[in-house]
Amino acid sequence: MTGAVDMSGVLLAGTLFAAYWLLMLPRRPLHAAGAPARHPVASPRLVLPKRQRTTDPHEIPLFIHQLTGLLQAGRAPSQLWGDMLSVHGGSSGFPAAIKPALLPAHQAAQLGLSVPEVLREAGSQTRDPALRSLWRDLAACLEVAERSGASLAAVLSRYAAQRDAQLDSDAARGTALAGPRATVRLLSWLPLFGLGVGYLLGVDPVAVLLGSAPGIATLCAGAVLMVIGRFWSSRLVRAAAGDSA
């Protein structure tokens, strides 16, 4: 009888551990059910690579500062995209990721076509969220400068400063949340550590929890509270980080 209780306790502990481990796995956002699929508009001018890696966020402000520097040096907006093609002529990394948008933008500028439309089209076709935001924001900056008569260099300079401030804010928030995240992980593992300490002290925690009705009630209540605490703590950290719950 004791052997059966021990075996059932081990199985129950293993089941709880597996369920708890699954709860701790990172979650990926799911697309809304029934949402219509967005198909990019076919264009002969844009040829995107099959595989795209996520762009380093620090590359974006540097790219905008380069645009601003060329404009402040006296380069015309129509010459801007050709100059950036010559600067970012690499075949890998960030240059390879932005080349499919720079090339049609340069061609549109040479032909007198709308560069903002080309950039916005590139933003709608890329799978990289950082580049998507970059091309759409640049298209908006170009349209604001064209319609208001403001200096494009000044508009891009303010945009670059805003992106720099956003990166600094994200870094400060990540540093501030490092401690709470570590605390959540530590508190999540404490019940399992407590079981191990009990065995080291010569006590059989599983037998105590499964040997009586109060023990079983305590085990169930502890498991439920452990899962609720993990979920609530993770939710608080995500809310503080600004992520969507």
Closest among 79, 88, 25, 11 to 230, alpha carbons compared: 25
pLDDT per residue rounded down to tens, the chain (245 residues) = 444 444 444 444 555 555 555 445 444 433 333 334 343 333 334 444 444 457 788 888 899 999 999 999 888 888 888 888 888 876 678 888 888 888 899 899 888 888 999 999 988 888 888 899 999 999 999 999 989 988 999 999 999 999 999 888 888 888 888 888 888 788 778 877 887 888 888 878 888 788 888 888 888 888 888 888 888 888 887 787 765 43
Residue 188 belongs to what H/E stretch? Answer: helix 152-200
Question: What is the pLDDT, as a whole number, of residue 91?
Answer: 67
Instruction: Return the domain boundaries, the chain.
Output: 59-170
pLDDT at 49: 43
Q: Which of 77, 85, 94 is nearest to 131 (CA)?
A: 94
Per-residue pLDDT, 173: 82
What does pTM read for this prediction? 0.58
Q: Phi-psi category of 74—alpha, beta or left, where left has phi over 0 and alpha has psi -120 to 50?
A: left
- Look at residue 119 in the predicted model and tell me its pLDDT: 92
Reading the block at residue 187, the tokens are 């508190």
- Residue 36: the pLDDT is 40
pLDDT value of position 207: 83
Please give the pLDDT value at position 37: 39
Please report the pLDDT score of residue 135 as a whole number: 93
The closest of 169, 145, 178, 165 to 68, measured between CA atoms, is: 145
pLDDT value at residue 17: 54
Answer whether 159's CB lies under 8 Å from 64's CB: yes
Residue 92's pLDDT is 76
pLDDT at position 243: 53
Write down the pLDDT at residue 156.
92
The predicted pLDDT at position 50 comes to 42
Lookup: tokens for 91: 């075949």
